[in-house]
Amino acid sequence: MKETVEELIQEAILELNEQMEEDRKVSYSEDLKLIGVNAALESISFVTLIAILEDLISDRLGKNIIIVNDRAFSQERSPFRSVGSLAEYVTGLLLETE
């Protein structure tokens, strides 16, 4: 499942890049920082990425999940700190729906 999620995040980043100025585009890597100081994405780009990812999960996996919720923000370490942690978190959400 985690591999599938990583592939979907890669695809979401490609789609996000299509909407970004050349100097704002980002490359997929597990360490890519999504939020916080020195994040690769501006807040609106992060929101867009999450929206695209929710959409891809719905289309490809037929699962309706809300990625950003109170639980995500209540965790000691934010699941949005990097692409790798996002993949782990989303994988967990998807496994809970099975």
Partner 1 sequence: MFIVITGASKGIGLALVKHYIEKDHTVIGCSRTKPDFEHERFCHYPADVTNYEEVQEFAFAVSKTHPVVDVLINNAGAASMNHFMLTDPRSAERLMRVNYLSAFACARGFIRLLRKSQHPRIINFTTVAVPLNLEGELAYGASKAAVESLTKVLAKELGSFRITVNAVGPAPTKTNLIANVPKHKLEKILEQQAIRCFAEFEDIVQVIDFYMDPKSDFITGQIIYLGGICR
Chain residues in the site for partner 1 (CB under 8 A): 44, 47-48, 51, 54-55, 58-59, 64, 66
Q: Find the shortest distance in angstroms from Cβ 72 to partner 1.
A: 14
In 3D space, the residue among 15, 5, 17, 98 whose CA is nearest the CA of residue 60 turns out to be 5
Beta-bridged to residue 6, according to DSSP, are: none
Question: Smallest gap, in angstroms, from Cβ of residue 76 to partner 1?
Answer: 25
- Min dist CB 94 to partner 1, Å, is 14
Taking the C-alpha atoms of residue 8 and residue 23, their distance in angstroms, rounded to an integer, is 23
Beta-carbon-side half-sphere exposure of residue 95 (alpha carbons within 13 Å) = 11
Measured from the CB atom, is 84 or 94 closer to partner 1?
94
